[in-house]
Amino acid sequence: MKIVVIQGPNLNMLGVREQHIYGHMKLDDIHAQMEATAKQNHVDVEFFQSNLEGEIVDRIQECLGVADGIIINSAAYTHTSIAIRDALSAVKIPTIEVHLTNIHQREEFRHKSLIAPVASGQIIGMGPFGYHLAMMAMVQILKEIEAIRESQKKAAQEAQKKK
């Protein structure tokens, strides 16, 4: 299993910018914790961060046929990027949207996520722990998909034997 974690604009500044909102933990520290969780679950994980919308779209598209799941914090693009939403919709890969803060407790313009309708789930307001929750949720989703595929494969083999 492979999970790609995509981080949007300004997340490279975690631990520096607006600590009273986003906390003191740096992005590298969050990624290190996610990597440890992935390793415990025998999952490959890859991290990507960009401040540029087009690069995020490109990275999502590159996941097609390579990644089993995407965890994304598209940051400010959550509320504005139809392009990121459409890329996620196009690749049809299970996706979990993460936000460090509760977007519904923030400014009105942050309340609507364009990503949510094409995501498998959303984890908001849990701070850095939200990424751990997203990793565990994605592992569970992927295991369930794998079990369904195995069951279908077994059923197809049994049906073939009956012919």
Which residue in the list 22, 24, 104, 132 is annotated as catalytic?
Answer: 22
Q: Is 31 a catalytic residue?
A: no
Give the bridge partners for 3, in sequence order. Answer: 45, 69
**Distance (Å) of CA 62 to CA 70, 102, 129:** 11, 29, 27
Residue 147 Cα to chain centre, angstroms: 21
First to last CA, the chain: 34
Catalytic residue among 31, 99, 104, 131, which? Answer: 99
**Cα–Cα distance between 155 and 149 in angstroms, integer?**
10
Is residue 156 within 8 Å of residue 150, measured between CB atoms? no
- Residue 139's nearest CA partner among 12, 61, 41, 6 is 41
| 22 is an active site residue | yes
Exposure string of 8-22, with b = 16+ CB inside 10 Å and e = fewer, is bbebbebeeeeeeeb
Active-site residue numbers?
Answer: 22, 99
